[in-house]
Amino acid sequence: MDIVLDVMGLSSLEEILLQAELLVRIGISCVLGLLIGHERKNRNKSAGIRTHAIVAMGAALIMIVSKYGFSDVASYDAARVAAQVVSGVGFLGAGVIFVRNNLVSGLTTAAGIWATAGVGLAMGSGLYVIGIASALLIVLIQELMHRIDYFARVASCGTIRMTIAKKEGAVKQMEEYLEERRVDIAAVKVHKNKKDEIKVEFEVIYPPGLDKAALFSQLAEDDNVMMISE
């Protein structure tokens, strides 16, 4: 038993207490990551509880290894391994960023993953107050920005499918109608299947705060619009 403890580096009470504290740091990091991920999960984001919990725990583990794992090496740089977390997590965050019609989505989640790694690094280095406070700030910022109407309004992309009466300038009229309501048109597809109607698909970007239901109702009331859907 003593041989096993020596191999594990637990030959004294001081070393056992140190290892116990390091385990506590990893555990708290995991809980903080879970807390941040829970908020993202409630927003139906791709990176949720498990992703954030593992990122925070992994960052704390790497920080601990970087700080305490090379103490037997003379003149070792404790920050060298931990510094790679910042760039490494960047690749993970890039996986949740999507671009469609010049509209970027997933940036907030990617930034959250990156910040969660920072929380893990803080906890791994023993900065309990900084790590816990930062995690709570991340959750607070996310919650407040969604609850305050001004900050919650963001642009969104979508598709408007219409069947309109075939006549000169009909498609142009619809384009002008949408542009008047600050709806940006990214692409237009026109299908002329029948003599008296035209099928049009608009790939659009809705401005922040636009009432899409009201827009569709107004378009449906137009005499030239025979059918409209999203």
DSSP per-residue string spanning 193-216? -SSSEEEEEEEEEEPTT--HHHHH
How far out from the chain centre does Cα 38 lie?
12
Note the pLDDT of residue 7. 47
Q: What pLDDT sits at residue 153?
A: 66
As a whole number of angstroms, the distance between CA 139 and CA 34 comes to 11
Q: What is the mean pLDDT of each run of 10 residues along the chain (230 residues)?
A: 50 77 90 86 74 88 84 73 80 72 70 88 89 90 73 72 82 84 83 79 81 83 82
36/128 Cα distance (integer angstroms): 16
Q: Are strands 156-165 and 184-191 parallel, antiparallel or unpaired?
A: unpaired
Give the pLDDT confidence score for residue 22 in this predicted structure.
87
What residue has token string 């498609």?
171
Which residue in 180, 183, 230, 177 sits closest to 209, CA to CA?
A: 183
Which CATH number applies to 156-229: 3.30.2350.10, 3.20.20.70, 3.30.70.260, 3.40.190.10?
3.30.70.260
The CATH 3.30.70.260 portion of the chain extends over 156-229
What pLDDT is recorded for position 99?
Answer: 66
Q: Quick one: angle between helices 49-68 and 79-94, nearest 10? A: 160
